[in-house]
Amino acid sequence: MVPRHPAQAIATGFGLAILLGTLVLMLPIAKSGTGGAGVLEALFTATSAVCVTGLAVVDTAAYWTPFGQGTILVLIQIGGFGIMSFASLLGVLMARRLGLKSRIQAATETKSTGFGDVRSVLFGILRITISVELVVAAVLALRFGVGYGYSAGHAIWLGLFHSVSAFNNAGFALFSDSLMSFVGDPWICLPIAVAIIIGGLGFPVLFELGRHYRKPLHWSMNTKLVLSGTGTLLVLGTLFISALEWNNPKTLGALSTADKLLAGFFQSVMTRTAGFNSLDLGQMDPATWLGMDILMFIGGGPAGTAGGLKITTFAVLFFILATEIQGGTAVNVFGKRLSRSVHRQAITIVLLAVALVIGSTMALMLMTDIGFDRLFFETISAFATVGLSTGITASLPPAGQLLLVFLMFIGRLGPVTLASALALRSRPLLYEFPKERPLIG
């Protein structure tokens, strides 16, 4: 049955991409040593790549061959670009046209304002993606080659893989310790952080900055919320992680002051939904994990490569809260009144996400003897498509790993998108009930 609703097509597209990626990763040529990868290892890795998460049950550097790593890279690129967006772009390039159905699906996925501008939006996304990835890849390749003595071919491969993984907020690394070996190297950490931040802003924000970067008064509410929220959370995250881990001998304690600040900033950036780590997260204080849980849950900007519930969602809730406390009747943000439908959407998304995360954490607690703080961290990391882990992913039972696969899939699509994908048709109400107010509080 062909999906009729755009959200159904997006969900189906992601599912098919994961299935195809799983089958390719199960080929013997994709795995080091003899034989092919198991179904669960291939499924988990393919889901993590397509959903640009970065969680892994096997060592990416050692378990997969260059072919397998290349497959992961392709899945990351397709997943970050968007399944429907990628398919529509191929249709434009091959047939020089874009049908109405493809326009609707791509517009839904990219949050385009109209169907007529979908073609320009797709090519705009492609230009931004290629430009950022090539620049960051060149810087990283130069550093890997000159600074660490890798051969030219290997350095270029390392630079390209980590650049694509960073811009798409995936967090897959070709080093067994992620980026812990480069904790004090700004030529590795900062380019990757910049790529993650740019990808995490969302394409609508990048488009608007490209057109009106000198005219902040002309920026939309979405752009203002994303930029102000991103800056605030990056600063607060850096201060929080650095302060709590400053004297921890197993994380920041043994580093110089400059390296501590770099590592604190880098890990703050990673909570924007990219799963690289330059510190051993398993040795962090549980209070640090809790703070990172909050940052991961919020995530980055909408319609980009970041995950989480998005900065705009929490910004809307913040302004609703502030308005209620002040006794206001309308929620005003940056001189504009917020639509009431946006209130309902934000509340719905957050409540669905909270229910899903809490329920999944409880399920994992029933499956294992691992502590709540580590399981909660893992659950949020999967749902927010972050990819950070305290080191328990591979030790979870198969049922627990399948639960994480489910969370990554839902987290990439978004709870509301998935719910609408499952709805067979809309049901408009032809009547309304009389109003009544229950007691609150």
Q: Report whether pLDDT(97) > 60.
A: no
Q: Mean pLDDT across the stretch 389-417?
A: 90
What is the per-residue pLDDT across 127-141, written as a single tens digit (0 to 9) for each? 889 999 999 999 999
Q: Report whether pLDDT(9) > 90.
A: no
**Number of structural domains in the chain:** 1
Please, are residues 190 and 258 in contact by the beta-carbon 8 Å criterion?
no
Q: Is 413 or 163 the better-scoring residue by pLDDT?
A: 163
Q: Report whether pLDDT(112) > 80.
A: no
Please, are residues 356 and 415 in contact by the beta-carbon 8 Å criterion?
yes
* Residue 434 maps to a domain: no
Identity of residue 316: V
> Angle formed by the axes of helices 340-367 and 398-413, to 10°?
170
Q: Which of 1-15, 71-85, 203-217, 307-321 has the highest mean pLDDT?
A: 307-321
* Residue 431 maps to a domain: no
* Residue 92 maps to a domain: yes
Q: What was the pLDDT predicted at 83?
A: 55
* Residue 427 maps to a domain: no
> Angle formed by the axes of helices 66-81 and 6-25, to 10°?
170
Q: What was the pLDDT predicted at 5?
A: 60
Q: Which structural domain range is residue 10 located in?
A: 6-422
* Residue 433 maps to a domain: no
Three-state secondary structure readout of the chain:
CCCCCHHHHHHHHHHHHHHHHHHHHCCHHHECCCCCCCHHHHHHHHHHHHCCCCCCCCCHHHHECHHHHHHHHHHHHHHHHCHHHHHHHHHHHHHCCCCHHHHHHHHHHHCCCCHHHHHHHHHHHHHHHHHHHHHHHHHHHHHHHHHHCCCHHHHHHHHHHHHHHHHCCCCCCCCCCCCHHHCCCHHHHHHHHHHHHHHHHCHHHHHHHHHHCCCHHHCCHHHHHHHHHHHHHHHHHHHHHHHHHCCCCCCCCCCCHHHHHHHHHHHHHHCCCCCCCCCCHHHCCHHHHHHHHHHHHHCCCCCCCCCCCCHHHHHHHHHHHHHHHHCCCCCEECCEECCHHHHHHHHHHHHHHHHHHHHHHHHHHHHCCCCHHHHHHHHHHHHCCCCCCCCCHHHCCHHHHHHHHHHHHHHHHCHHHHHHHHCCCCCCCCCCCCCCCCCCC
Q: What was the pLDDT predicted at 259?
A: 97
- pLDDT confidence of 92, banded at 50, 70, 90? very low
Q: What was the pLDDT predicted at 243?
A: 97
Q: What was the pLDDT predicted at 59?
A: 96
What is the per-residue pLDDT across 256-274, written as a single tens digit (0 to 9) for each? 999 999 999 999 999 988 8
* Residue 437 maps to a domain: no
* Residue 107 maps to a domain: yes
Q: What was the pLDDT predicted at 428?
A: 66
CA-to-CA distance for 79 and 48, rounded, in angstroms? 10
Question: What pTM was estimated for this model as a whole?
Answer: 0.89
Q: Determine the Cα angle at 256 with ends 251 and 258, to 5°.
A: 105
Q: Mean pLDDT across the stretch 15-37?
A: 95
Q: Mean pLDDT across the stretch 42-67?
A: 95
Q: In the beta sheet, which residues pair with residue 332?
A: 337
Q: Report whether pLDDT(93) > 70.
A: no
Mean pLDDT computed over every residue of the chain: 87
Say which residue the tokens 């529509």 belong to. Answer: 88
Identity of residue 335: G
The string over 99-137, giving b where at least 16 C-beta atoms fall within 10 Å of a residue's C-beta and e elsewhere, is eeebbbbbbbbbebeeeeebbebbebbbebbeebbeebb
**Nearest residue to 388 via CA among 407, 405, 374, 370:** 374
Q: What was the pLDDT predicted at 82?
A: 73
- pLDDT confidence of 418, banded at 50, 70, 90? low
Q: Report whether pLDDT(24) > 90.
A: yes
Identity of residue 441: G
Q: What was the pLDDT predicted at 118?
A: 65
- pLDDT confidence of 7, banded at 50, 70, 90? low
Q: Is 310 or 156 the better-scoring residue by pLDDT?
A: 156
Mention every residue, 6+ apart, whose C-beta is less than 8 A from residue 354: none
* Residue 428 maps to a domain: no
Q: Report whether pLDDT(2) > 50.
A: no
**Nearest residue to 72 via CA among 89, 55, 84, 88:** 55
Q: What was the pLDDT predicted at 95?
A: 44
Dihedral of the CA atoms 418, 420, 425, 426 (nearest 10)?
170
Mention every residue, 6+ apart, whose C-beta is less than 8 A from residue 313: 346, 349, 350
From 102-111, 298-307, 321-330, 344-353, the region with the lowest mean pLDDT:
102-111
Q: Is 59 or 435 the better-scoring residue by pLDDT?
A: 59
